Amino acid sequence: MNRAAAFVMTMFTLVGDRFEGRKERGATAVEYGLMVGLIAVAIIVAVTALGTRLDGLFESVTSKLPTGA
């Protein structure tokens, strides 16, 4: 009976380790997805904030350039 109990416990441990590994991978994928989303939001905010400043800078440079023939 001891061998049978040891075998059953070993099988439960192996199966449990398999399922825990999948949960950790899933959580990691969710975390990476959140990070990518936050980085995208930060880029959009930066481009929006700098867009008007850059537009004004290009307008002033264009106005100071001589006109072509």
pLDDT tens, 27-64?
678 888 899 999 999 999 988 888 878 888 888 998 89
Mark out the alpha helices in the chain (DSSP H runs): 2-64
- Torsion region of 68: left, alpha or beta (phi above 0 gives left; psi -120 to 50 gives alpha): beta
pLDDT tens, 6-22?
777 777 776 676 666 55
Chain centroid to CA 23: 18
pLDDT attached to residue 9: 76
The dihedral through the CA atoms of 8, 11, 13, 16 has a sign that is: negative
Please determine, for residue 25, whether its predicted confidence score (pLDDT) is greater than 70.
no
Q: What is the DSSP letter of 58?
A: H
pLDDT attached to residue 7: 77
pTM over 0.85: no
